[in-house]
């Protein structure tokens, strides 16, 4: 007897779930379906699962295709299950292609092509699924498509690029439903637009999408003009949609807890915020402007918007290329410093110094998972650790779904006036660096 096993959350059970179970069944004589538990979904960072475990198991049972249903409760269980049940074939959706190749030492691994267009018409009319379209000028997605799989209620469906070949390659690479080089047609069947083009076209795409009544996520900065940014936020308000930028830091539980503790006098009166980041180590090969925006955001969240003075000292090599910048932001009673480097080695960390101690986020602080507090008079470090998965995008998407549900017209994790202030500071930095 040939035994087949497949796994899934099976949340908001739809045609695609049914099809993969049906096709898995056809590959053998006995099918085992593993349904992930709530605790395991949380542990692996799958957010916003709507249906209970009992409901999801019952939906699988109703298919009449599963000979046995088990619960997946922990990382590494697949190996144990394959051995325990003497499995011949593991079936996985093609969007996970390559992720489970290590299990080929135990059984055959088959990646099945997913069912396209599962999110249209019925599911959308019920308010269950929101379609996302990606606007891009390259075939790289910064893990956005992969991260979206951990948030229920959304489906990355289509891609737009002015270059048809780029759109097609992106579509093929990430197994999306359709690709377009006509922006109007692209916008006609999406609810949310993710704009990840170069800065020169970013604002134009954002504005058009907002005027079509679409929620918009954009790489940061959305524009280098504070005036233009104010205008985009006004367009968002007028069309009753939300415009948010990809500053994933503000959506992380650890960073928000850090800000709350610091503002609650954890280390006393703030004296200094030191923020260092190596551009080459930053995600997605971002530009200087994109990199420094994240650092400025961290400073504003900790020290506020009332910056009194800004100074910058850029270092360039013999060819005139940017190498290093030291940015200082003067506040009443406190000083923030931001170090940005490209070809020089900078220790990526965020250090907050107060009158009664310090807090340190070591290494890649923009993906905050934990931090340490050294309080005066206390012998041991206090460590705060939080569950963190992926690159932060899934937490942004989860917050966006909450905003849509609550019919908000502004993001409360990064307010519009905070975003504008970041660009005003960036304008000052760029002006002084180029003077």
Query: What domains sit in the chain, N to C, each tagged with a CATH number?
Result: 3-112 (3.40.50.620), 122-245 (3.40.50.720), 249-391 (3.30.360.10)
In angstroms, the CA 262 to CA 252 distance is 16
- Locate the DSSP E strands across 344-387: 349-354, 357-361, 370-375, 382-385
What pLDDT was estimated at residue 203? 96
Q: Prior bond to 221 cis, omega within 30?
A: yes
Measured distance CA(34)–CA(92) in Å, rounded:
11
pLDDT of 120: 41
- Residue 35, class by beta-carbon neighbours within 10 Å (0-12 exposed, 13-18 middle, 19+ buried)? buried
3-class SS at 187?
helix
287 close to 221: Cβ distance less than 8 angstroms: no
Q: Cα–Cα distances in Å, from 326 out to 3, 139, 359, 412, 429?
A: 61, 33, 21, 30, 10
- Strand order, beta sheet including 178-180: 178-180, 154-160, 130-135, 192-195, 215-218, 243-245
Strand partners, 158: 133, 178
Residue 428 tokens read as 């000052």
Q: What is the mean pLDDT of residues 405-410?
A: 82
pLDDT of residue 175 exceeding 50: yes
| Nearest one of 214, 29, 132 to 394, comparing CA atoms | 132
- For 7-38, the pLDDT digits (tens) are 988 887 888 888 899 999 999 999 999 998 87
Q: Which of 153, 154, 192, 194 is nearest to 170 (CA)?
A: 194
Q: Average per-residue pLDDT in the chain?
A: 87
pLDDT level of residue 154 (50, 70, 90 thresholds): confident
Q: In the predicted model, is pLDDT for residue 223 greater than 80? A: yes
pLDDT confidence of residue 285: 63
The pTM assigned to this predicted structure is 0.76
Select the more confidently predicted residue: 411 or 67: 67
* pLDDT classification of 43: cutoffs 50, 70, 90: low
Residue 157 is predicted with a pLDDT of 85
pLDDT reported for residue 123: 46
Pick from 7-11, 171-175, 360-364, 425-429 the range whose average pLDDT is largest.
Answer: 425-429
Burial-class residue 285 by CB neighbours within 10 Å (0-12, 13-18, 19+).
exposed
């Amino acid at each position: 007897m040939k035994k087949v096993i497949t796994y899934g959350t099976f949340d908001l059970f739809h045609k695609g779930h049914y099809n993969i179970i049906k096709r898995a069944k056809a590959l053998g004589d006995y099918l085992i379906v593993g349904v992930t538990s709530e605790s395991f979904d949380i542990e692996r960072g799958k957010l916003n699962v709507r249906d209970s475990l009992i409901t999801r198991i019952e939906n699988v049972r109703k298919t009449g295709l599963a000979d046995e249903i088990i619960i997946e409760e922990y990382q590494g269980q697949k190996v144990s299950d394959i051995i325990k049940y003497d499995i011949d074939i593991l079936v996985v959706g093609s969007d996970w292609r390559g992720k489970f190749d290590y299990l080929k030492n135990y059984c055959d691994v088959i990646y099945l092509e997913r069912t396209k267009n599962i999110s249209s018409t019925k599911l959308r009319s019920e308010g269950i699924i929101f379609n996302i379209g990606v606007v891009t000028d390259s075939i790289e997605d910064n893990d956005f498509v992969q991260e979206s799989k951990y948030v229920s209620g959304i489906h990355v469906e289509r891609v737009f690029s002015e270059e048809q070949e780029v759109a097609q390659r992106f579509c093929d690479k990430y197994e999306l439903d359709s690709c377009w080089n006509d922006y109007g047609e692209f916008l006609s069947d999406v609810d949310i637009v993710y704009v990840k083009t170069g800065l020169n076209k970013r604002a134009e795409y954002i504005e058009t999408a907002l005027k079509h009544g679409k929620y918009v996520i954009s790489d940061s900065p959305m524009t280098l003009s504070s005036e233009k940014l104010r205008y985009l936020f006004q367009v968002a308000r007028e069309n009753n949609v939300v415009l948010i930028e990809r500053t994933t830091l503000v959506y992380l539980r650890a960073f928000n807890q850090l800000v709350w503790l610091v503002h609650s006098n954890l280390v006393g009166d703030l004296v200094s915020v030191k923020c260092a980041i190596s551009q080459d180590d930053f995600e997605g090969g971002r530009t200087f402007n994109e990199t420094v925006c994240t650092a400025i955001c961290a400073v504003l969240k900790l020290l506020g918007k009332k910056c009194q003075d800004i100074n910058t000292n850029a270092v360039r090599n013999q060819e005139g290329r940017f190498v290093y910048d030291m940015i200082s932001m003067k506040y009443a009673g406190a000083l923030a410093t931001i170090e940005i480097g490209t070809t020089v080695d900078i220790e990526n960390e965020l250090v907050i110094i107060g009158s009664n101690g310090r807090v340190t986020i070591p290494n890649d602080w923009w993906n905050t998972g934990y931090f340490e507090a050294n309080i005066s008079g206390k012998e041991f470090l206090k460590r705060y650790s939080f569950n963190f998965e992926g690159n932060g995008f899934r937490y942004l998407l989860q917050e966006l779904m909450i905003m849509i549900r609550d019919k908000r017209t502004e993001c409360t994790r990064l307010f519009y006036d905070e975003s504008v202030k970041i660009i005003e500071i960036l304008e000052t930095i760029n002006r002084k660096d180029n003077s």
